[in-house]
Amino acid sequence: MVIIEYSELEMLIVRIREISGFDFSGYAKPSLLRSTSRYLTKNAMNLKELFLYIEQGGRAVYDLIQELTVNYSEMFRDPDYFKKVRTEVFTYLDSYPALRFWVAGCASGEEAFSMAILLKEAGLQGKSLIYATDLSNKVLTAAREGVFTLGNIRTFSENYLQAAGTGSLSDYYYVAYNRAVIAPELRKNIIFSLHDLTGDGVFNEFQFISCRNVMIYFSLELRQKVFRLLYDSLSMLGFLCLGKRETLRYSGIEQHFKIIDSELNIYQKIK
Amino acid sequence: MKEQSDEPLSLVLLGGSSGSFTIFEEILKMLKNPVSCALVFIIHRRKDSTAVLPEIFRNKTNIAMKEPIHLEPVLPNHIYFGYPDYHLLIGPDGRFYYDDSEKDFFSRPSIDATFVSAALSGIPVKAAMLFSGSSADGAFGLKLIAQKGFPTYVQDPAYADSPRMPAEAVRQYDKHHVLLEKGFYKMIREVLY
């Protein structure tokens, strides 16, 4: 494993900003240090070589940014959360004529597909639109394709059953060339698009925002800025869902929300 | 956010997997009096493990135990446990950071993730220990801590329920202190107090 120190990471952040304009300074440094170290290890590179590599600009630095910001997910990750959304949140949203969902930081689409299935099984699919955004074009391309390995699908299926899915996950994908492909029918309500939570602004108003395991990558200051964006993007009485280890503590917007579930971090905007 | 006490922070890191649970229990039992350091236990757990370790271990020790939340300050005289399905990192600002990047050795939390982050944090490590387990996780992180000049300890593989983890640590770096079967807990106690 290739190890780098925080001082070296700071130099790298400066250089990336100079070359590309992308600013990592508000990212959680411990995670960034780990992902940089993993990137170097995977590419059998030392830091000096990385600096030389990104001097080429363009593609090279862009690739690095994508690799360092990528997050990993599973369909129906934290099955309890999906159960709770179905019982507590959907019953509430049922009365709305039209619904907009935002999956912020959607990676390869796992969370968006899970949400689409949940909506379908709750009979809400017809009036719902899911916006799934990420800052990485690479993962968005993967998300639009909706292709997963069979190994992935096994894990997803277990999660789905634990989340009390009403059918079988295989109802929602077909297998081709040893890969699972998410059914087009499921994808038609999902709009995948490029959006950087740290730089871009409000683009719509939502009744439901899921931003799970994204905030953990941002520093305290940047989190507050992103939380503000999520707050501004939520309609009154809309829901905000965070990852299991994230809370509204230190967010700067906690006073505007009612806690629906403190374990699963589901909140409702009340003012 | 003035949650820090005046006491300077130092870390004691304990990692283990299969065969380490009872060792951790015994260590907690000996922690009756306040300790000057923060103790961080990383034990491999399934992602759907709903067991809350501070609950399971309650009554074993008088010291406050918790699964920290993201960005919580690391405090002396506290015992912390990694939460399932996230790596637990320690930042140079003395706070905990959760991280959900890829698993190391099929594990999240991984021992290496925590150990490496602690080694690079600049926070003094009073001791790092690696116990029984059936994967190679932890060996790299323990070596890094040792190379930073901090004391490191490995359970004698010959007496570990699952020798792979401590054996790999010794294979990667042969200058760790080996905790022999004889006087095992006495030795640990002396390190902690």
- Say if residue A242 is in the same domain as residue A115: yes
Interface test with A, best of B55, B90, B100 (most A CBs within 10 A): B100
Last residue of a domain, one of A46, A69, A92: A69
**pLDDT tens digits, residue range B137-155?**
999 999 999 999 999 999 9
The residue type at A78: D
A13-40: buried (b, 16+ CB within 10 Å) or exposed (e) per residue?
A: beebeebbebebebbbbbbbbbbbbbbb
Predicted local confidence at residue B54, as pLDDT: 78
> Around A125, how many Cα atoms within 13 Å sit in the side-chain half-sphere?
18
- Say if residue A62 is in the same domain as residue A183: no
Contacts of B122 in chain A (CB under 8 A): 6
Q: Which of A5, A71, A245 sits opposite B86 (nearest CB)?
A: A245
Predicted local confidence at residue B46, as pLDDT: 72
Look at A34 and B48 and tell me if their CB atoms are within 8 Å.
no
Last residue of a domain, one of A42, A69, A96: A69
- Say if residue A168 is in the same domain as residue A233: yes
Look at A244 and B87 and tell me if their CB atoms are within 8 Å.
no
Predicted local confidence at residue B3, as pLDDT: 46
CA-angle at A265, arms to A143 and A199, nearest 5°: 50
Answer for the pair B138, B169: CB distance below 8 angstroms, yes or no. yes
A87 in a structural domain: yes
The residue type at A107: A
In the predicted model, what is the mean pLDDT of residues B45-63?
76
Query: For chain B, how many residues are written?
Result: 193
The domains located in chain B, with CATH, are 11-192 (3.40.50.180)
Give the chain B residue whose CA is nearest to the CA of A73: B100
A145 in a structural domain: yes
Torsion region of A61: left, alpha or beta (phi above 0 gives left; psi -120 to 50 gives alpha): alpha
Contacts of B51 (CB under 8 A, 6+ apart): B45
Contacts of A243 in chain B (CB under 8 A): 100
What is the Cα–Cα distance from B33 to B102, expressed in whole angstroms? 38
A218 in a structural domain: yes
A1 in a structural domain: no
- Say if residue A65 is in the same domain as residue A152: no
The shortest C-alpha distance from A97 to chain B (Å) reads 36
- Say if residue A150 is in the same domain as residue A262: yes
The more confident residue out of B135 and B60 is: B135
Interface test with B, best of A4, A7, A31, A69 (most B CBs within 10 A): A31
Contacts of B144 in chain A (CB under 8 A): 3
**pLDDT tens digits, residue range B60-77?**
888 999 999 888 999 999
Last residue of a domain, one of A69, A91, A120: A69
- Say if residue A44 is in the same domain as residue A103: no
| Both tokens assigned to B148 | 């930073």
Q: Could you tell me if B117 lies within 8 Å of chain A, comparing CB atoms?
A: yes
Question: Residues B171, B177, B183, B188: is their CA dihedral positive or negative?
Answer: negative
Look at A5 and B92 and tell me if their CB atoms are within 8 Å.
no
**pLDDT tens digits, residue range B94-126?**
999 999 888 899 899 999 999 999 999 999 999
A74 in a structural domain: no
- Say if residue A205 is in the same domain as residue A121: yes
Look at A37 and B70 and tell me if their CB atoms are within 8 Å.
no
List residues of A whose CB lies inside 8 A of any B CB.
Answer: 1, 3, 5-6, 28-31, 33-35, 37-38, 71-72, 79, 162, 213, 215-216, 220, 243-247, 249-250
The shortest C-alpha distance from B88 to chain A (Å) reads 10
- Say if residue A63 is in the same domain as residue A169: no
Predicted local confidence at residue B51, as pLDDT: 64
CATH code of A260's domain: 3.40.50.150
Distances (CA, A) of A53 to A44, A47, B41, B123: 13, 10, 39, 32
| Both tokens assigned to A217 | 């990558």
B130 phi and psi angles, rounded to 5 deg: -130, 130
> Around B140, how many Cα atoms within 13 Å sit in the side-chain half-sphere?
16
The residue type at B31: L
CA-angle at B144, arms to B143 and B148, nearest 5°: 115
- Say if residue A85 is in the same domain as residue A175: yes
Q: Which residues of B are catalytic?
A: 17, 44, 137
Predicted local confidence at residue B48, as pLDDT: 64
What is the Cα–Cα distance from A106 to B166, expressed in whole angstroms? 39
3-state secondary structure of B179: strand
Contacts of B121 in chain A (CB under 8 A): 30
Predicted local confidence at residue B2, as pLDDT: 41
- Say if residue A147 is in the same domain as residue A124: yes
Domain residues for the domain of A52 are 6-69
> Around B18, how many Cα atoms within 13 Å sit in the side-chain half-sphere?
9
Average pLDDT over chain B reads: 91
- Say if residue A189 is in the same domain as residue A214: yes
Q: How confident is the model at residue B11 (pLDDT cuts 50, 70, 90)?
A: very high
If one counts every other C-beta atom within 10 angstroms of the C-beta of residue A145, the result is 14
- Give me the number of domains chain A comprises: 2
Look at B120 and A3 and tell me if their CB atoms are within 8 Å.
yes
Look at A34 and B140 and tell me if their CB atoms are within 8 Å.
no
Q: How confident is the model at residue A124 (pLDDT cuts 50, 70, 90)?
A: very high
Predicted local confidence at residue B7, as pLDDT: 66
- Say if residue A160 is in the same domain as residue A233: yes
Answer for the pair A232, A170: CB distance below 8 angstroms, yes or no. no
Beta bridge partners of B128: B13, B152
